[in-house]
Amino acid sequence: MPQIFPKKANNLPVVSLVGTMFGGVLLILLVWYYFSPDFLWTGYQPSQPVEFSHRLHAGELGMDCQYCHNWVEVSSHANVPSTQTCMNCHNQIQTQSLKLLPVRESWASGRPIEWVKVHHLPDYAHFSHAGHVDAGVGCETCHGQISEMEVVYQAESLSMGWCLECHRQPELYLRPNEEITTMNYVQPADFVERNLERIREQGIQPPTNCSACHY
C-alpha cells in the first residue's frame, strides 16, 4: 500500500504538541505583559483641550508644581488648578494668544475647562496625595519628568505591584520634603541611610495591607 505520509511526518505529533505548549506559554506571556498596566497605561498621553506645556511652565519658567497644584499637601487630590490660577498671569501675558482662547472663554463664561485625566486609579483604590507628600515622596517619583513633557503622559504604570515596590522599601524612594517638587533630583550618595533614619524617627510605615487602600 502506498505511503501517503513521508517518514518525517512521524515528527508531527511531537512538534505540534511542543509547538502548542510553547505557543501557549508565549501567548500567556504576551497577554500578561501587553494587558498589564505596565504596557497599557504607561505612556498614555491623551490630547488636552488646551495645549498647556509643562515643559514651558515648569521647566523653562521654573514654576513650582505647588503653585498650581496647591492642595497636594492637604487633600487626597493634587488639584488641577482653576482657570483663575491661569488668569493670574495670563490676564497680562499672551492675552491675545489663540492657544489660550479656551482659557479666556472659560474665565469669561464660568464654565470649566474639560481636562482629560491622565493618571487614573480605579475608584476602588483610594489614594491620598497628602499622606505621600508628607512622608517625602517626590512628584517626579510617580509622575516622571513633568518639566520635560510638552504634553503630559503617564510615566509610570501606577499598578498595585508598582505601588508595593515602594511601600515595601520606602527608603529607596523618599527624599527630603524641600526637594519634593524638584525635577531631575539626584539623590545624595548616602540617601538610603538618611531615609532609614527618617523612617525610624518619623515612624514612616507605608501600609501593605489591603484595607489601607481598598475599602
Partner 1 sequence: MRNPQTDERAAMADDYTPSDAPDAAAADTAAGASGDGMIELPVIEAGDAYREKPKQRFWRSVAQLEEDPDYKEVTKNEFRPGAEEPPSGANRRQFLQLMGASLAMGGLAACRRPTEKILAYARKPEEVIEGVAMRYATAMPFQGHLRSLLVRNSEGRPTKVEGNAEHPQGHGATSVFEQASILNLYDPDRSRTVQQDRSDTSWRAFVDFAREMHADAANRSIAVLAEPSYAPTTAALRAQLEAQYAEVQWITYDPRGEDPARLGMQQAFGAPYLPDYRFDEAEVIVSLEADFLGATDVNSVMNNRRFADGRRLNGPEDAMSRLYVAESNYTITGAQADHRERMRSTDVRAFAAAIAAGLGVGDVGTAGDRFAGHPVVEAIVEDLEAAGANGVLLAGDAQPPEVHALCAAINDALGAIGTTMLLYDTEEGTQPPQPEPAQAEALTALVEDMQAGAIDVVLMLGVNPVYDAPADLNFAEALANVRRTVHAGLHVDETARACAWHVPLAHYLESWGDGRSYDGTLSVVQPLIAPLYEDAHSAIEILNAFATGRDQSGYDIVRAQWRGVLSENFERDWRRVLHSGFQPDTGYTTVTPSAATITLEDHGEADGLEVVFRLDPSVYDGRFANNAWMQELPDPTTKIVWDNVAMVSPGTAEELGLEVRYSAGNYYADLIEVSVNGTSVELPVWIQPGHADGVVTVSMGYGRDIHSRRSARNTNFFDTDDYTDIYGQGRAIGTGVGTSVAPLRTTEALRVAPNASVSATGQTYQIVTTMEHGAIELESRPLYRMGTYEEFQANPEFVMDVEPYIPKGEDARTYPELWEEDHPKDQPAMRNNPYYKNQWGMVIDLNACTGCNACVVACQSENNIQVIGKQEVGNGREMHWLRIDRYFVSPGVEPEDVPEDPQMVLQPVPCQHCENAPCEAVCPVAATYHSPDGMNQMIYNRCIGTRYCSNNCPYKVRKFNYYNWSKTLPTTTRMGLNPDVTVRSRGVMEKCSYCIHRIRGTQQRANIEDRDIRDGEMKTACQQACPAGAITFGDLNDTDSEVNRWKANPRRYEMLSEYNLKPRTSYLGRVRNPNPRLDEARRTA
Q: Point out which residues bind partner 1 (CB under 8 A).
A: 40-41, 44, 46, 71, 74-77, 79-84, 106-107, 109-117, 120, 122-126, 128, 130-131, 134, 202-203, 205, 207-212, 214-215
CB of 98 to partner 1, least distance (A): 19
In the complex with partner 1, the residue whose CB is nearer, 99 or 126, is: 126
Cell numbers given for 208: 501593605
Cell (9 digits) for 61: 519658567
Shortest distance in whole angstroms from residue 193 CB to partner 1? 20
Query: For the stretch 90-128, what's the b/e string if a residue is b when 16 or more beta carbons lie within 10 angstroms of its beta carbon?
Result: beeeeeeeeebebbbebbeeeeebeeeebbeeeeeeeee
How far is it, in rounded angstroms, from Cα 82 to Cα 115? 11
Select 11 or 76, whichever has its Cβ closest to partner 1. Answer: 76
- Choose between 51 and 187: whose C-beta lies nearer to partner 1: 51
Beta bridge partners of 125: 214
How distant is the alpha carbon of residue 68 from its chain centre?
18
Nearer to partner 1, 20 or 208 (CB): 208
Map residue 126 onto helix, strand or coil: coil
Q: How many residues does the chain have?
A: 215
Beta carbon of residue 104, minimum distance to partner 1 (angstroms, whole number): 11
Give me 119's grid cell.
493618571
Please state the separation of Cα 212 from the chain's center in Å.
Answer: 20
In the complex, minimum distance from the CB of residue 11 to partner 1, in angstroms, rounded to a whole number: 34
Closer by beta carbon to partner 1, 22 or else 39: 39
Cβ proximity to partner 1, 71 vs 153, nearer residue:
71
Burial of 143 (0-12, 13-18, 19+ CB in 10 A): buried
* Shortest Å, Cβ 60 to partner 1: 23
CB of 32 to partner 1, least distance (A): 16
> What CA–CA distance (Å, rounded) separates 199 from 213?
21
